[in-house]
Structure 1
Amino acid sequence: MALSDGKHVMLSYNWKSQKIVSRVYDILKAENIPVWFDVQGGMKDDIYKSMAEGVENAAIVCCFMTPEYQESENCQLELTYAEKQHKRIIACLIDEEKNWRPSNWLGLITAKLLYVHFKDDSEEGIQIKTKELIDRIKEHSASAESIYYEAGGGLQNYKLMGKPSV
């Protein structure tokens, strides 16, 4: 599957979630989706330069939200930069702590997004939810107009929010 202009899907996560995110990475790669994943060559000597390049060259940033993700300064830098760069964000909720929901800066960025809920970390659960994630990625590839529809706003709200029109 090709993304526009040689872009990739960036996986943004806290290291505590690396096992699940690594499995998601493997599935995306098997589907020929270009992926930026820090432990698979995305991270170079300069961590901040690598993160910035990962975001700048992303068509989509998938954030895997946990309480640790919310507390991480680097995760905050990455996702805040992605939002400022007007990148499409797909929010994935890893349900390690039951009933936890993002708040603070993370809640603000992801408030209107529909989450992909990775509640079940079994192989079958990860396969099912990664298929849902792939469907969302393909929606983006099929039409640039899908960028803001995921949040329920449509293009009219996209323009009202001061975002550039698509």
Structure 2
Amino acid sequence: MTLDAEKHVMLSYNWNNQALVSKIHDILIDEGIKVWMDINGGMGDNINISMAEGVENATVVCCFMTPDYQKSHNCQLELEYANKKEIRIIPCMLGDKSDRKWKPSSWLGLITGGLQYINLRDDSDSNIQLRARELIDRIKNQSSASTTKLVLAPIKLFEPIRDKTKARELLKGEP
């Protein structure tokens, strides 16, 4: 996947994790990835309009999940809107030792439940560098499951078999 030059990667996070997400922001910028983050010029006069524009102009939304993220009304608005707009979401799991067993539930579990998350629970510099590389690879290379629609021809599984000979062959296991 090539990144659209007009689009950006949006970083959705709770402000309690601003320092760590800022490190990720800087690493992505150093890689030449266009990034939207509220504290780095993403926020205008109206918070709702700014968040909506952040989502609408995103090719990917990276959500940095914690219990506080799940409790945040604004984080919920951003991620639900991204999901509704079928923008690819890459979840990143944050948290300290007390949060190790925490898993997303409710609205956040519904949106991210089937997605593979990037584990940033260890916030050491070496792990941040390693996981940032994983994030960059996913941003650049992972095809978008939410924008790639699999279209199948209709299968008439329950249509009655009209040919009795064919029905007998199927029951006997013959071709």
| TM-score scaled by length of structure 1 | 0.85
Distance 2:13 2:111 in 1: 15
Residues 1:76 and 2:67 are matched in the alignment: no
Gaps of 5+ in 1: 141-145, 161-166
Alignment of 1:18-37 (within 5 A): 18-37=18-37
Distance 1:139 1:101 in 2: 26
1:40 partner amino acid: N
Residues 1:59 and 2:27 are matched in the alignment: no
* 1:148 alignment partner in structure 2: 145
* 1:107 alignment partner in structure 2: 109
Assess if the C-alpha contact under 8 Å between 1:62 and 1:91 holds in 2. yes
SS in 2 for 1:43: coil
* 2:159 alignment partner in structure 1: none
Distance 2:62 2:43 in 1: 16
Residues 1:9 and 2:6 are matched in the alignment: no
Assess if the C-alpha contact under 8 Å between 1:10 and 1:62 holds in 2. yes
1:31 partner amino acid: E
Deviation at 1:3, TM superposition (A): 1.8
C-alpha RMSD of matched pairs (Å): 1.8
Distance 1:112 1:85 in 2: 17
1:130 partner amino acid: A
Residues 1:94 and 2:91 are matched in the alignment: no
2:111 partner amino acid: I
* Equivalent residues, number: 149
Q: Percent of pairs identical after alignment?
A: 56
* 1:143 alignment partner in structure 2: none
* 2:50 alignment partner in structure 1: 50
State the structure with more CA Rg: 2
SS in 1 for 2:145: helix
SS in 1 for 2:119: strand
Distance 1:37 1:75 in 2: 13
Gaps of 5+ in 2: 153-175
Deviation at 1:5, TM superposition (A): 5.0
The C-alpha deviation readout for 1:81-109, integer Å capped at 9, x for no partner, is 00001100000000321111000000000
* 2:132 alignment partner in structure 1: 130
Distance 2:100 2:5 in 1: 39
| TM-score scaled by length of structure 2 | 0.81
SS in 2 for 1:4: coil
Kindly indicate which of the two structures has a greater share of residues assigned to helix: 1
2:134 partner amino acid: E
